[in-house]
Structure 1
Amino acid sequence: MENGAVYSPTTEENPGSARGARGFAAYFSLTRLPWYRRVLKGLQLLLSLLAFICEEVIPECTLCGGLYFFEFVSCSAFLLSLLLLIVHCTPLHDRVDAGKVKSSDFYITLGTGCVFLLASIIFVSTDGRTIAEVAASFGFIASFMFLFDFIAMLYEKRQEAQLRKPETIKAEALTEPLNA
């Protein structure tokens, strides 16, 4: 038997062109989040990274416990916000239960915002009044972005609950005859 007769019905000539584009834009989409949440997520990512970088350039510290705690929290906040942004903007969002993604985002954002605010307060209180205040200011702003995002999610949850709330039917209307 000739090789062409065996392989022609099962083999594609150019399989790449039939699949479509497989670039960065095919995997990354910001449309799952409203515009204000996209802005808040981007600011969380940027400000937590800036807080971490500003903290890393501090040459010396007097009470280093606050500095180390701030370092840990700012790095963790950056990584968690990056993880949440990746989940929201990639096809991974479609593979995970949407309710779990929303719930995880809700609690992670609240926890990160509160701990970041606490770490910024501790860092400022144990700081030797040096240039580290710049890092702490990025920490405060980043923690407020996390808390603003939490408030936005809380508002969205309340709006969804209002839409799902069933109508209340008056008891009087049920006792009246239909053909009166």
Structure 2
Amino acid sequence: MAAANAVYNVTTVQEPKAGKWLIVPSEYLDKCRFGIKVAAVLFSLLAFILAATVYLCSSCPALYFFQFASCAAFLFTGLLVFFLATPFHRRVGISDWPMLDFSYTVAIGFLIFLASAAFASEHRWTLEVQMSVAFGFIACVLFLVDAVIFVKIKGWPCHSKPRAPPEQSETPEAEKLTVHSEE
């Protein structure tokens, strides 16, 4: 029994302390990207609030599209940051967090760019519109920077990682168990 415990003590990973709910840096989110994501959430929220204060719209569909995109960016990016920066990502049935994170970041960045461009081109330039569009474009740039940093640090998540053939899958832990069980 002691030999088996020695093998498992070396190979098992300790669970983080139960009292620690914010884990930055974590396996999916480092401090730099955490800061960028939080800034993108805040700029998206500011863009949405300012767009909501626009009373006269010359092209209401562009305004509504911008409000939708900035609100979606705020809510869903906030939710993504919550999952990536807390232990709750382990309880959700998602197995490929890096692919989800990268895909979402690129998609929402593109969506908020389209919405900001449409809102800027189709609306009267009041102070609220100018600030809202500026915050929308800043959020777009932050999403783009986050995606670029992700690729620089972790590489493209779309590439499948080569898997070891089944015959070579015996791990050192399995070898240690085999050696200890023979004794």
TM-score strictly above 0.5: yes
Identity of matched residues, %: 34
1:38 is displaced (CA, Å) by 1.2
1:50 is displaced (CA, Å) by 0.5
Aligned-partner Cα distance in 1 for 2:50–2:100: 28
- Structure 2 length as normaliser, TM-score? 0.70
Match of 2:171 in 1: none
SS of match in other structure, 2:155: helix
- Structure 1 length as normaliser, TM-score? 0.71
Aligned-partner Cα distance in 2 for 1:159–1:111: 15
Gaps of 5+ in 1: 1-20, 166-180
Q: 1:125 to 1:159 in 2, by over 3 A?
A: closer
Match of 1:94 in 2: 90
Match of 1:117 in 2: 113
1:159 is displaced (CA, Å) by 8.8
1:113 is displaced (CA, Å) by 0.3
Give the letter for the 1:134 counterpart: M
SS of match in other structure, 2:55: coil
1:28 corresponds to which of 22, 45, 55: 22
Give the letter for the 2:22 counterpart: F
Match of 1:141 in 2: 138
Which protein is bigger by CA-based radius of gyration?
1
1:62 corresponds to which of 53, 58, 62: 58
Q: Which has the higher contact order (CA 8 A, sep 6+)?
A: 2
Q: 1:141 to 1:92 in 2, by over 3 A?
A: same
In the TM superposition, 1:48-59 aligns within 5 A as: 48-59=44-55
Aligned-partner Cα distance in 1 for 2:25–2:153: 16
SS of match in other structure, 1:27: coil
Work out whether 1:39 is the aligned partner of 2:24. no
Give the letter for the 2:136 counterpart: G
Give the letter for the 2:139 counterpart: A
Gaps of 5+ in 2: 1-16, 163-183
Match of 1:156 in 2: 153
Aligned-partner Cα distance in 2 for 1:157–1:96: 22
Give the letter for the 2:122 counterpart: T
Aligned-partner Cα distance in 1 for 2:121–2:156: 39
1:141 is displaced (CA, Å) by 0.2
- Corresponding pairs, count: 140
Match of 1:11 in 2: none
Aligned-partner Cα distance in 2 for 1:141–1:104: 22
1:83 corresponds to which of 64, 73, 79: 79
